[in-house]
Structure 1
Amino acid sequence: MIANQESFYISHQNYLNGEEISPIRHEYIRGEIWAMAGGTQAHNTIALNLASLLRNQVRGTGCRAFVENMKVFVETADVYYYPDVTVTCDERDRNASDSFIRYPTLVVEVLSEKTEAFDRGDKFADYRQIETLQEYVLINQNRQRVERFRRNAEGRWELYIYEKGEEVYLASVDFSMPVAAFYEDVPV
């Protein structure tokens, strides 16, 4: 969730070094850093619900699930983002000393009023440049609605919308779950 911009150019290495000691997270967008605002209880609970379920799903498969504090580096877009939930199944992301991954299979963002336009627009445009990315999921935190964008065989992104009472299928990790499971302990 982006809150404000610190307006000066910074190198990748200076950004990564700064993130190691900073008490707050920042996203890096083409040489500029943006401080991340704190999330709501609903936002955090939704992300944790999904990450917990995905962690159990991918355990032992060679895939790894991450929640909120793992950056994704999109080299072609020159950005580092902190998705709410990420899954990578690529062996090139297995270096435990890295503070970021490059080859996610699944990226999930929990929408907020302040970040929704960015998550749907420029951020999704940047994520689409990742060749390994198969699905991008947007979760509404104010009502039970999940949007799944899936890259098809022709490389085009198809939208699937799931609402209360429906089952979401994440093909990238071969996992189904009811929409209600995203919102467990969230009053929506």
Structure 2
Amino acid sequence: MVISQSEYYISPEEYLEGEKVSEIKHEYIDGQVYAIAGASDAHVTVSMNISMLLRNHLRGSACRVYMLDMKAQIDVINRYFYPDAMVTCDPRDRESEYFKSYPCLISEVLSESTEGFDRGKKFASYRHLESLQEYVLISSDQMSIECFRRNQEGHWVLYPYEKEQEVHLASVDFHCAMPAAGYAYAAIYEDVVLGGGGNKN
């Protein structure tokens, strides 16, 4: 979540150097830096779950999975964000230690304070990444996943998933079941209390 803004222009180089030593993470939008607030238990747990599932699925491949602390660079519009989870299979991304420029999949976990930004301006920014094939929004308070997938014409098509359906992330050929509510193990939602204190899923 964006909680504060700098008062003067900061170059990308200054931003990247500052992030190496900053105790607080900041996202960067065209010369301005914005501090990020801490996330809830559910948000962090869902982020970790999807990252671990993708990591296990892609182990041994040329793809790398990153979560929370790795920046996505959108060079054409001068922006850097911290996705909750990100996958890159492009060898060019091995050249940069502190950000990745060619992700094929980005996932953001939704919370009440960040949902509008994640759906709106952040998604609009991510669409400038020519390498990006899927943008995945995961609710942190109900079993709901929305996958926006770029088709052959370059249009973004929504594929929604809810409980009792199988999630498919085509960019990395990942499949994951979403059991009915009440199941003890629900992969992406493992150890998450949904619905503001309901059953553990």
- Displacement, 1:7? 2.6
Give the secondary-structure state (helix, strand or coil) at the position aligned to 1:94: helix
- What is the CA–CA distance in structure 1 between the aligned matches of 2:66 and 2:110, rounded to whole Å? 18
Counterpart for residue 183 of structure 1: 189
- What is the CA–CA distance in structure 2 between the aligned matches of 1:7 and 1:57, rounded to whole Å? 43
Counterpart for residue 74 of structure 2: 74
Give the secondary-structure state (helix, strand or coil) at the position aligned to 1:153: coil
Identity of aligned residues (%): 53
Matched, 1:98 2:86: no
How many residues in Structure 1 have an aligned counterpart in Structure 2?
Answer: 187
Counterpart for residue 10 of structure 2: 10
- What is the CA–CA distance in structure 1 between the aligned matches of 2:156 and 2:7, rounded to whole Å? 33
Partner AA of 1:160 in structure 2: Y
Give the secondary-structure state (helix, strand or coil) at the position aligned to 2:193: coil
Counterpart for residue 124 of structure 1: 123
- What is the CA–CA distance in structure 2 between the aligned matches of 1:59 and 1:90, rounded to whole Å? 15
Counterpart for residue 183 of structure 2: none
Partner AA of 1:146 in structure 2: I
- Displacement, 1:166? 1.1
Unpaired segments ≥5 residues, structure 1? none
- What is the CA–CA distance in structure 2 between the aligned matches of 1:9 and 1:118, rounded to whole Å? 22
Counterpart for residue 107 of structure 1: 106
- What is the CA–CA distance in structure 2 between the aligned matches of 1:143 and 1:7, rounded to whole Å? 38
Partner AA of 1:134 in structure 2: Q
Matched, 1:39 2:39: yes
Q: CA RMSD in A?
A: 0.9
Q: Taking CA–CA contacts closer than 8 Å with sequence separation of 6 or more, which of the two structures ends up with the larger relative contact order?
A: 1
Q: What TM-score, normalized to structure 2?
A: 0.91
Q: What TM-score, normalized to structure 1?
A: 0.97
- Displacement, 1:45? 0.3
Q: Which moved more, 1:83-92 or 1:177-186?
A: 177-186
- What is the CA–CA distance in structure 2 between the aligned matches of 1:35 and 1:178, rounded to whole Å? 35
Partner AA of 1:109 in structure 2: E
- What is the CA–CA distance in structure 2 between the aligned matches of 1:3 and 1:45, rounded to whole Å? 22
Partner AA of 2:7 in structure 1: S
Matched, 1:161 2:160: yes
Unpaired segments ≥5 residues, structure 2? 179-185, 195-201
- Displacement, 1:6? 2.0
Q: CA offsets per residue over residues 16-48 of structure 1, 9 Å max, x none?
A: 111000001000001000000000010000000
Counterpart for residue 65 of structure 1: 65
* Runs of 4+ more than 2 Å apart: none
